[in-house]
Amino acid sequence: MSAYDELMAFQRDTEALSQVAGRLGWDQETMMPRGAAPQRGEEMAAMEGVLHARRTDPRMAEWLDRIDEAKLDEVGRANLRHIRRSFDRASKVPAALAARIARVTSEAQGTWAEARANDDFKAFVPTLTEVVALKREEGQALASGGNADVYDAMLADYEQGTTGAELEAMFGALRPELAALRGAVREAKAPPKLQGTFDESAQMKLTRQLARCFGYDMSHGRVDKAVHPFASGSGLDVRITTRTNDTDPFNCFYSTIHETGHGAYEQNINRDYLLTPLGGGVSMGVHESQSRIYENQLGRSRAFTGYLFGQMKDAFGDFGVADEDTFYRIVNRVSDGFIRTEADELQYNLHVLMRFDMERALVSHDLQVPDLEAAWNDRFEADFGFAVDKASNGVLQDVHWSVGLIGYFPTYSLGNVYAGCLNEAMRSAVPDLDDQLAKGDTTAATSWLRDNVQVHGGLYEPKEVITRACGKAPSEAPLVGYLKAKFSDLYGIS
């Protein structure tokens, strides 16, 4: 075997073990007994120790040194790029620190869930303080040996090739446009709200139908319920979750369509890349572009909501909405709310930009964990115009910081920017798309996304994926144009 063959055989086992670790996390969120959390923390720490040892195995350096990259094809070079990056990263983080982060963040999930249930941020402060301190330590280790910013080093885990300064500039251009459009919408007459109750078992039946409608392969996946919807796995085993609310079926349906975007991305990656570094989505920003374009530009379009209106009538009978146009306006209603994951398409990014600024401040010591709740409440009222009423609607609503995902939040808005670019290119390539969506046929859209984005997996760098698909570099302009056109039409804004 060549050095490359030996390296890839070793890497295949590492990738398989990583999938097992991911399955432990899926189980923790969906099936695990609540009292098992301390033991699961030990299990996760042990698995992370094994993975860290493999990622820093001295043989990795030997294989990397022996490989003649000039003799590799495009796929081989891409594999090597990912492996070398992972090896360099893992080598900078002490094994004891990696295991401690795994243990503390696993246990922190339970602490966060309890504090959230009790609306008691103070009870979570000691745990979150420890998590932030550990992640700062990790970020400092990753930034060592160069001039890298600590937050940029953390961001690279989710969006390689993007810096906090670049995002600040992009978001700085996006924020005033969103604020102005939001202000105009709030002055216009709002559509009605959905009324009534909707059987949860009927919601789950329809939500699975919607997942299949958007191309999710149930023979290689499943749909379960979780407090915080997510997708997990890649290749032949990709699982998604949703949640139900008997007075808000849209929460279930659009959570499912969103997670289907993530799941379809993983299912549609070239099978030749299975259990290799190329076998997963290339970045969280690109991943989020898929979930957001499925959910919003496709799922909330006037054409597709017409189809969904008929499906809901079949599932629930007469549910008090007169026609497809009214239903479209209800689905896209802009309304005040505290929860990021339930936010309408227009205001969603304002939630994310707030979190981006706050986590950068936490990393730089400009904001301390005990002061986080007050800072959150002040910023929220300034951005949204009303006060947070309780911690579960504010600083405790998201699981991300409790599990150490610092640097993750901005990829949500970056994904929206990417989705705006992809939507513009996709509609140019498929001019009759709305005619198909009106029939509940998403094939043209999902096939275009599969062929131009998803199939590549990790073959290209994130910005290159979007640039190749769209024919130009990503920009916030298409997203701004799309939102202005959509909501000006919905609310009669001139």
Q: pLDDT tens, 427-439?
A: 999 999 999 999 9
Number of Cα atoms under 13 Å in the Cβ half of residue 410: 28
* Amino acid letter, residue 458: G
Query: Which uninterrupted H or E stretch holds 223?
Result: strand 223-225
Q: Identify whether residues 334 and 204 lie together within a single domain.
A: yes
- Of 94, 120, 148, which marks where a domain is finished? 148
For the segment 180-193, the average pLDDT, to the nearest whole number, is 92
Catalytic residue among 15, 138, 159, 259: 259
Question: Are 263 and 256 contacting, i.e. CB atoms less than 8 angstroms apart?
Answer: no
pLDDT recorded at residue 433:
98
pLDDT recorded at residue 117:
96
For residue 91, give its domain range.
3-148
Q: Identify whether residues 239 and 329 lie together within a single domain.
A: yes
Count of domains observed in the chain: 2
Tell whether 187 is covered by a domain. yes
Using pLDDT thresholds of 50, 70 and 90, give the confidence band for residue 340.
very high
Tell whether 158 is covered by a domain. no
Q: Identify whether residues 124 and 193 lie together within a single domain.
A: no
Tell whether 13 is covered by a domain. yes
pLDDT recorded at residue 146:
60
Tell whether 227 is covered by a domain. yes
| 384 has pLDDT over 70 | yes
Number of Cα atoms under 13 Å in the Cβ half of residue 455: 9
| 299 has pLDDT over 80 | yes
Q: What is the DSSP letter of 318?
A: -
Q: 223 phi and psi, to 5 degrees?
A: -120, 120
Question: Are 320 and 196 contacting, i.e. CB atoms less than 8 angstroms apart?
Answer: yes
pLDDT recorded at residue 255:
95
Pairing of strands 223-225, 237-242: parallel
What tens digit of pLDDT does each residue of 318-338 get?
999 999 999 999 999 999 999
Q: Is 259 a catalytic residue?
A: yes
Q: What is the DSSP letter of 461?
A: -
Residue 52 is assigned to a ligand binding site: no
Residue 314's closest CA among 211, 205, 197?
Answer: 205
| 147 has pLDDT over 80 | no
Q: 240 phi and psi, to 5 degrees?
A: -125, 160
Tell whether 153 is covered by a domain. no
CATH number of 295's domain: 1.10.1370.30
Q: Identify whether residues 131 and 234 lie together within a single domain.
A: no
pLDDT recorded at residue 423:
98
pLDDT recorded at residue 341:
82
pLDDT recorded at residue 232:
96
Q: Identify whether residues 187 and 245 lie together within a single domain.
A: yes
- Note the pTM of the prediction, 2 decimals: 0.92
Residue 239's closest CA among 26, 457, 19, 5?
Answer: 26
Residue 317's Cβ-count burial label (10 Å; 0-12, 13-18, 19+) is: exposed
Q: Strand pairing partners for 341?
A: none
Tell whether 159 is covered by a domain. no
| 228 has pLDDT over 90 | no
Q: 407 phi and psi, to 5 degrees?
A: 105, -5
Q: Identify whether residues 445 and 339 lie together within a single domain.
A: yes
Q: Identify whether residues 178 and 309 lie together within a single domain.
A: yes
Cα distances from 14 to residues 96, 101, 412, in angstroms, run 19, 19, 28
What tens digit of pLDDT does each residue of 47-90 get?
988 998 999 999 999 999 999 999 999 999 999 999 999 999 98
What tens digit of pLDDT does each residue of 229-273 get?
999 999 999 999 999 999 999 999 999 999 999 999 999 999 999
pLDDT recorded at residue 254:
96
Q: Identify whether residues 59 and 117 lie together within a single domain.
A: yes
Residue 151's closest CA among 340, 425, 367?
Answer: 367
- Of 85, 118, 148, which marks where a domain is finished? 148
Question: Are 277 and 307 contacting, i.e. CB atoms less than 8 angstroms apart?
Answer: no
- How many angstroms separate the CA atoms of 35 and 372, rounded? 29
Tell whether 157 is covered by a domain. no
Q: Identify whether residues 428 and 383 lie together within a single domain.
A: yes
For the segment 352-359, the average pLDDT, to the nearest whole number, is 97
Pairing of strands 231-234, 237-242: antiparallel
Residue 262 is assigned to a ligand binding site: yes
- How many angstroms separate the CA atoms of 190 and 176, rounded? 22
Q: Identify whether residues 42 and 188 lie together within a single domain.
A: no
Residue 287 is assigned to a ligand binding site: no
In which order are the strands placed within the sheet that holds 231-234? 223-225, 237-242, 231-234
- Of 104, 119, 148, which marks where a domain is finished? 148
Distance of CA 100 to the CA centre of its chain: 25
Q: Identify whether residues 290 and 428 lie together within a single domain.
A: yes
Question: Are 106 and 402 contacting, i.e. CB atoms less than 8 angstroms apart?
Answer: no
Q: Reduced to 3 states, what is the DSSP secondary structure of residue 321?
A: coil
Q: Identify whether residues 246 and 118 lie together within a single domain.
A: no
Task: Report the mean per-residue pLDDT for the chain.
Answer: 95
pLDDT recorded at residue 91:
87
Q: What is the DSSP letter of 66?
A: H
Tell whether 186 is covered by a domain. yes
